[in-house]
Each structure stands twice: as C-alpha cells, then as structure tokens.
Amino acid sequence: MAAVTRAHWEKELAQLEAFLKAHPLAAASDLAALDELRVAVLGRSGSLTSLLKALKDLSLDDKKELGPKAQSLRVDLDAAIEARKAELEAASDLALSSEDALDLTLPAYAPARGRVHPLTSTLEEMTGILSLMGFSWAEGPLAESDDNNFTKLNIPEHHPARGMFDTFYLENSPLLMRTHTSPVQIRAMETSRPPLRIMAPGRVFRHEAVDATHSAVFHQVEGLYIDKNVTFADLKGTLDVFMQKLFGAQTKTRFRPSYFPFTEPSAEVDVSCLFCAGSGCPICKHSGWIELLGAGLVHPNVLKAVDYDPQVWSGFAFGVGVERIAMLRLGVKDIRAFYENDMRFLEQFDENLV
C-alpha cells in the first residue's frame, strides 16, 4: 500500500465505522454471513487490518493518537463477533433438536443380543453331559424309511406296537416322519462295527392331538452303547449319573418294567421329584416320582438286523424327551410355549449368545 496521510487514514476509518453501522454484527443472519463480515473487516486484507498496518506511515504523534482508536475498535469487534457467534450457534442447536434431528448427546441404543432358545440350551446341556461320558454325536434324517423307524427295530409291519408310534406319511414317497430317534441306532450300527457309544439328538414327529403336554413335533436324545457284556447295571449307572448331572446330585432314579419292541428287558425310568424331593406334591401327582425316559437292553433281533452277533455283542439304549426335561428344569407348564416364538416367553431365559 502506498504511504497514507493522516487525512486519508481518518477518512478510511470513518468509512469503516459507517459501514459497520449499516451492517451491524448483531444483525448477521447466520454463521456464514457473520464470517463474511469478519473477513471483510478483520481478515488478512480486511479494512481494519489495512488501517492498522497503515499506522506505520503516520507520524509518531499521529500514531499515538490514532493507534489506540483503531485498536479499541478491533477489540470491540472481536468481542461482538464472539457474542453473535455464540447466539447463532445456540439458536441452530435449538432448531436441530426441535426437528427430528440427531441428538448426538443421547446415549446409544444397547445392541440387541441374541439368545439361545431354551430347548437348544437344554439339548446342549444334555449332549454336553453325555459327551463327557463318552457318547459321540450321531444323526439321521427326519424323513426316515419304514425299515429304520420300525422293521429293523423289531416292529414288523402289522405289529400292534406300531400303534404306539402313529406318524405322518409323505405323499409320493415311501418315507415317513420319524417317530423317535431310535432309527439312528440302526444307522449308526450299520455304518460302524462295535463297540460303539452314540447319542442322537433330534426332532421327532407323532400324529397326536396337541395339548399342554403333547406336541406333534418334539425332540429326543437317544443313547446307545454296544460292547461285550453290557448289563442292566451299566444302563442304571449311566442313567443315574446322567440324571444327577442334569437335576442335581440328590436325584434318584427308579426303573419300572415296561415294553418297547427294540429292548428286552425294557423300563420306564422315573426320577425323584425335583420339586418335593420325593415327599409328594402336585407336580409329581403326590407320587414323589416323575416319569422321564424309556430304556432297556438292546433286543437281540435289533442286533441281528444290523448284522451284529447277539452272542458276542450286547448293549443298552435309552430315549429321553428334551421338552419334558426343559419344562421340568425351567418350570414351564405348557409345551406349546416353546414353539410360539413369543419374545415375552423367550426373554425369560437369560442364556445369551456370546
């Protein structure tokens, strides 16, 4: 800038003051307009900045007289700009929060965690115990052959025992929906040589009227152990430990004679009532016992059907309902609650997915 005279300097200052009067900072309509004003006056080549720089061309006396004027104008302007800026920012925050705008100060939503279905956690608990006892995992299809579901399990066609297991038949297919996990016994024995020890968890089907304790679709865990000289004592010992791990060390078992075509002898196994410890209550119908599973020693005809020599090999098998165990352990009164997917029910069981 060319050297300036005092008169020129004073004229410029007067112009600036007039400009500020015409464009008061307090009236800047938004932050952008305010910043534009700030740059025009206080920016690197703003009008006040230029005046301050030009002071160096004036005489010492003029400097002493005019310098403080320009300086105090600058201090006032700085303060006014800050004040207006704060006002505008507060107003824009208010506008944001009064619309449906994002409020970044709100705490975040907690992420929704998945849960293990109570039937799944019960099944995992059961198979976890059995696998520690040496049973390995085995599976079979839900749509099963008549042979595996019935005939090879010593339930020939037209045998009245088929009435215990009424099921669903598939159209245009010889297959049927398996009525129990016992056909996995046949599959496991046909695909490996003895000795063997398997557990077969899975879904099964019965043509049944649905009520609080019956479902046409439910789950079982099958156990099968084949070796030399397997006795009823092995079965008893195994189920005692299984039930004690599941329901607590004080649990007792009771074996009642029963009938299954694929085991001989056969038994219904009860456990001492978990609710009254055997003294009698409404849940065990005052008997002290709760009926829980079917079991027995593998029938020689079943061993023959899979080409195991019944003179050499013997074994035990058991089948237990998962829903029944889950209902007892969790205090669920109606089996249908497991299948309705009502979150109010499912959320009561707090096993989280990790």
Question: Which of 140, 183, 296, 315 contacts ligand PHE by CB under 6 A?
Answer: 296
Q: How far is CA 129 from the centre of its chain?
A: 23
Give the number of residues written for the chain.
354
Look at residues 214, 222, 263 and name the one whose alpha carbon lies nearest to residue 140.
222
CB of 280 to ligand PHE, least distance (A): 26
- How many whole angstroms separate alpha carbon 324 and alpha carbon 242? 15
CB of 343 to ligand PHE, least distance (A): 31
Residue 215: phi and psi, rounded to 5, are -135, 150
String of contacts with ligand PHE for each residue 237-266, x by CB under 6 A: -----------------------x--x---
DSSP 46-74: -HHHHHHHHGGGS-HHHHHHHHHHHHHHH
CB 258 within 8 A of CB 294: yes
**126, two tokens:** 């059961």
- How many whole angstroms separate alpha carbon 42 and alpha carbon 70? 12
Amino acid identity of residue 13, one-letter, is: L
Residue nearest to ligand PHE (CB): 319
**Total number of residues that touch ligand PHE (CB under 6 A):** 10
Strands 289-298 and 176-177: unpaired
CB of 154 to ligand PHE, least distance (A): 11
Q: Which is nearer to ligand PHE, 41 or 196 (CB)?
A: 196
21-29, 67-75, 190-198, 288-296 -> range binding ligand PHE (CB under 6 A):
288-296
Of residues 133-192, those binding ligand PHE (CB under 6 A): 180, 182
CB of 251 to ligand PHE, least distance (A): 20
Q: Which is nearer to ligand PHE, 107 or 160 (CB)?
A: 160
CB of 275 to ligand PHE, least distance (A): 24
**Three-state SS at 211:** strand
Q: Interface with ligand PHE includes 294 (CB under 6 A)?
A: yes
- How many whole angstroms separate alpha carbon 126 and alpha carbon 112? 28
CB of 115 to ligand PHE, least distance (A): 29
**Three-state SS at 218:** strand
String of contacts with ligand PHE for each residue 302-321, x by CB under 6 A: ---------------xxx--
Q: Interface with ligand PHE includes 28 (CB under 6 A)?
A: no
CB of 306 to ligand PHE, least distance (A): 15
Q: How far is CA 69 from the centre of its chain?
A: 72
Q: Which is nearer to ligand PHE, 148 or 263 (CB)?
A: 263
Q: Given the rule CB under 6 A, which residues bind ligand PHE? A: 180, 182, 260, 263, 294-296, 317-319
